[in-house]
Chain A
Amino acid sequence: MDSVTLIAMASIITAGVTISIGCIGPALGEGRSVAAALTSLAQQPDAAATITRTLFVGLAMIESTAIYSFVISMILIFANPFWNHMIAEATGK
Chain B
Amino acid sequence: MHLSPDQVVLWRYGFINLNATIVTTWGLMLVLSISSLLITRRLETELTISRWQCGLEIVVTAIMKQIEEAGLRQPEKYIGFLGTLFLFIAIAAIATIIPGYESPTGSLSTTAALAICVFVAVPFFGIAEQGLRGYLDSYLKPTVIMLPFNIISELSRTLALAVRLFGNMMSGTMILAILLTIAPLIFPIVMSALGLLTGMVQAYIFSILATVYIAAATREAKA
Contact partner, B208, options A57, A68, A70, A79, Cβ 8 Å: A57
Do residues B164 and A67 form an inter-chain contact, with CB atoms below 8 A?
yes
Checking A61, A63, A64, A74 against B170 with a beta-carbon cut-off of 8 angstroms, the contacting residue is A74
State in angstroms the CA–CA spacing of A91 and B160 once bound together: 37
Residue total for A at the interface (Cβ-Cβ under 8 A)? 14
Q: Is the CB of A71 within 8 A of B201?
A: no
Q: Please, how many angstroms separate the alpha-carbon atoms of A64 and B204 in the complex?
A: 14
Residues of B with C-beta under 8 A to A17? none
Bound state CA distance, A63 and B168, in angstroms? 9
Which A49-84 residues have C-beta < 8 A from chain B? Answer: 56-57, 60-61, 63-64, 67-68, 70-71, 74-75, 78-79
Known A64-B160, A79-B3; contact A71-B167, beta-carbon cutoff 8 A: yes
Residues in B neighbouring A70, C-beta threshold 8 A: 167, 171
Q: How large is the interface on B (under 10, 10 to 19, 20 to 34, 35 or more residues)?
A: 10 to 19
Instruction: Identify which of B3, B171, B201, B208 contacts A67 (C-beta below 8 A).
Output: B171
- Are B170 and A78 within 8 A (Cβ)? no
Residues of B within 8 A of A78 (CB): 1-3
Structural contact, B160 and A60, CB atoms closer than 8 A: no
B201 & A60 in contact (Cβ 8 Å cutoff): yes
Given A70-B171, A71-B170, does the pair A60, B1 have CB atoms closer than 8 Å? no
B205 CB within 8 Å of chain A: yes
Residues of B within 8 A of A68 (CB): 163, 167
Q: Which residues of chain A have a CB within 8 Å of any CB of chain B?
A: 56-57, 60-61, 63-64, 67-68, 70-71, 74-75, 78-79
Known: A60-B205, A71-B167. 17 other contacts (CB 8 A): A56-B201, A60-B201, A64-B160, A64-B163, A64-B164, A64-B167, A67-B163, A67-B167, A68-B163, A68-B167, A70-B171, A71-B166, A74-B3, A74-B170, A75-B3, A78-B2, A79-B3
Interface residues in chain B, defined as those with a beta carbon under 8 Å from any beta carbon in chain A: 1-3, 160, 163-164, 166-168, 170-171, 174, 201-202, 204-205, 208
